[in-house]
Amino acid sequence: MNAELLITNASLITWEKPNRILEGQALLVGDGLIQELAASAELERRYPDVERLDAGGQYVMPGNICAHTHFYGAFARGLAIPGAPPESFLQILQKLWWPLDLALDEEAIRYSALVCLVDAIRHGTTTLLDHHASPNLIPGSLDILAGAVAQAGLRAVLCYEVTDRNGEAGARAGIAENLRFLNRCKQLHTVGGGGSRIAATFGLHASLTLSNRTLQACREAAPQGTGFHVHVAEGDVDQSDSLSKSGVRVVERLERFGMLGPDSICVHAVHVDAREIALLAETGTWVTHQPRSNMNNAVGIGEVEAMLRAGVRVGLGNDGFSNAMWEEWKTAYLVHKVWHRDPRRMSALDVAQMAIYNNAALAERFFPGAALGVIQPGARADLICVDYHPFTPLTPDNLPWHIVFGFHESMITTTIVSGQVLMKDRQLQTLDEAAIAEQARQIAPRVWARYAQNVGLY
Ligand SMILES: [Zn+2]
């Protein structure tokens, strides 16, 4: 074992099951993994020569995981949508997202990823599952993202969203990009002995922009055992479209094409019925919940608690909102209460189940060989330090409520992935935030100008 780092004077939040909070601890990190945890004084005595990181009594916990995001949407910040505001979810796609992703060139793809990765490091999100679209530059686009992720040092699962909205050639190029990148990652994992921080899945936009023919082509192209990452029933329109195309609802349609299963991710699942929930549970398919996005798009709020009770594995994503996952915790905690007008809805325990345990199990599908999202010997050393001073007792039992009401991402001082320190005392170590923001501000007006030309195409 190659000892790399000794994190001392830590209050550990392990997120084991059951969770533990242990004070005065140290963590020995080596080969990208947590090797030992014990009383700080003991490990300091046993490993006098290993580089130290003094946590100064801060909470040290596993980094946050985001189960669904879109780096490509970064330049939407501050963008004005011309004409009348979108009136529906479909119009939001047609007036905002589709003209915007069409406006991305190589530099814009790279910088939209980099600004999101800065945000993720700063806000302690160490693993991200991204869903990419750039119809004017499809081949190699996932390599551009992978290059940015490697530069940042974060962990990410990448895919390209196949869709028919850019014609047959666009759909074919999307399939080819997924296959090429899946193959590249397979080699990376072989060469890197499973130590790679980049993995791949097969992306599909959504049932409503995919013909039966394209779905069949994706199924035939994807190697056995590959999962699909697809938006499902985000708006009602996805269901009416699926019924008219195939006579069955969206989840059943995907099931017919063999696209459900324990490596597949159905994003949102806002408008699914009892049979679809049962299918998701029976097949072990993942669902991800993005409450900020659902509120913003006014698509409604999915029956997340019912899905969890039915045995569906639901994780928490951000759909391109800030990579501050506790914000997503807070929104999930609040929105189900007002949506149902019932303060008993969405316990913080359910939020923790999604954001901690389910997200970790989902991420481990793509990074097999060591545990993620937990502090225990042998787990991956993806860690954050949190400068939180609770003024009421903090226990493993009430921690989820402390996170909802007390934790804030500005308290995160240090971010570590695979034992590599990406932010130390709030100073980024791998990315130059000011230079990246400056360059992004140079690029954004050109992206916005192309976007303005594209509005009206859909
Ligand atoms: Zn999405």
Each residue's pLDDT tens digit, 7-29: 999 999 999 999 999 999 999 99
94: how many CB neighbours lie within 10 A of its CB? 17
Average pLDDT in the 29-39 region?
97
Give the alpha-carbon dihedral of 206, 210, 215, 218, to 10 degrees. Answer: -80
Mean pLDDT of 267-293: 98
Q: How confident is the model at residue 353 (pLDDT cuts 50, 70, 90)?
A: very high
At residue 192 the predicted structure's pLDDT band, cuts being 50, 70 and 90, is low
End-to-end CA distance of the chain: 56
- Spatial contact of 54 and 9, defined as CB atoms under 8 Å apart: yes
Distance 12 CA to ligand 1 centre (A): 33
pLDDT of residue 32: 95
Ligand 1 centroid, distance to 318 Cα (angstroms): 8
**What integer pLDDT is reported at residue 189 of this predicted model?**
72
Question: Ligand 1 centre and the CA of 100: distance in Å?
Answer: 14
Structure confidence at residue 221 (pLDDT): 98
Quote the ligand 1 centre to 257 CA distance (angstroms). Answer: 21
Could you tell me the distance, in angstroms and rounded to a whole number, from the CA of residue 128 to the centre of ligand 1? Answer: 13
DSSP assignment of 372-441, as one string? -SS-STTSB--EEEE----SS---TTTHHHHHHHT--GGGEEEEEETTEEEEETTEESS--HHHHHHHHH
Q: Where does the pLDDT of residue 193 fall: very low under 50, low under 70, confident under 90, or very high at 90 and above?
A: low
Q: CB burial class (10 A; 0-12, 13-18, 19+) of residue 328?
A: buried
Please give the distance, rounded to the nearest whole angstrom, from the Cα atom of residue 112 to the centre of ligand 1: 15
The first and second tokens of residue 228, run together, are 């699909």
Tell me how far the alpha carbon of residue 209 lies from the centroid of ligand 1, in angstroms: 14
Cα(70) to centroid(ligand 1), Å: 6
| Contact assessment for residue 348 and residue 333, using Cβ atoms and an 8 Å cutoff | yes
pTM value is: 0.97
Q: How far is the CA of 142 from the centre of ligand 1 (A)?
A: 17
φ and ψ of 327, to 5 deg: -60, -40
> What spacing in Å lies between the alpha carbon of 37 and ligand 1's midpoint?
38
What's the 255 CA to ligand 1 centre distance in angstroms? 20
Q: Give the model's confidence band at 458: pLDDT under 50 very low, under 70 low, under 90 confident, else very high.
A: confident
CA distances (Å), origin 258, targets 253, 255, 261, 304:
9, 5, 8, 24
What is the model's pLDDT at position 388? 98
- Residue 298 pLDDT exceeds 80: yes
pLDDT in tens, 86-106: 999 999 999 999 999 999 999
Q: How far is the CA of 234 from the centre of ligand 1 (A)?
A: 9
Q: How far is the CA of 131 from the centre of ligand 1 (A)?
A: 7
Residue 398, token pair as written in the block: 């009430």
Measure 231 CA to ligand 1 centroid, in angstroms.
6
Centre of ligand 1 to C-alpha 92, Å, is 13
Ligand 1 centroid–CA 204 distance in Å is 11
Mean pLDDT of 73-81: 96
- Least reliable range by pLDDT among 80-84, 230-234, 247-251: 80-84
Measure 331 CA to ligand 1 centroid, in angstroms. Answer: 17
Rounded to 10 deg, the angle between the 167-191 and 212-221 helix axes is 20
Ligand 1: distance of its center to the CA of 68 in Å?
A: 6
Ligand 1 centroid from CA 54, angstroms: 38
Residue 246 binned pLDDT confidence (cut-offs 50, 70, 90): very high
> What spacing in Å lies between the alpha carbon of 419 and ligand 1's midpoint?
30
Q: Which residues neighbour ligand 1 (ion) by CB within 5 Å?
A: 319
Q: Using the mean position of ligand 1's atoms as its centre, give its distance from the Cα of residue 232 in Å.
A: 10
- Centroid of ligand 1 to alpha carbon of 130 (angstroms): 9
**Looking at residue 3, what is its pLDDT?**
75
Compute the distance from residue 125 Cα to the ligand 1 centre, in Å.
17
- In the reported structure, the alpha carbon of residue 52 is separated from the centroid of ligand 1 by a whole-number distance in angstroms of 40
Q: How far does residue 317's CA lie from ligand 1's centre (Å)?
A: 9
Phi, psi of 92, rounded to the nearest 5 degrees: -65, -40
**CA 59–ligand 1 middle distance (angstroms):** 31
For the segment 312-331, what is each residue's pLDDT rounded down to a tens digit? 999 999 999 999 999 999 99
Average pLDDT over residues 389-406: 98
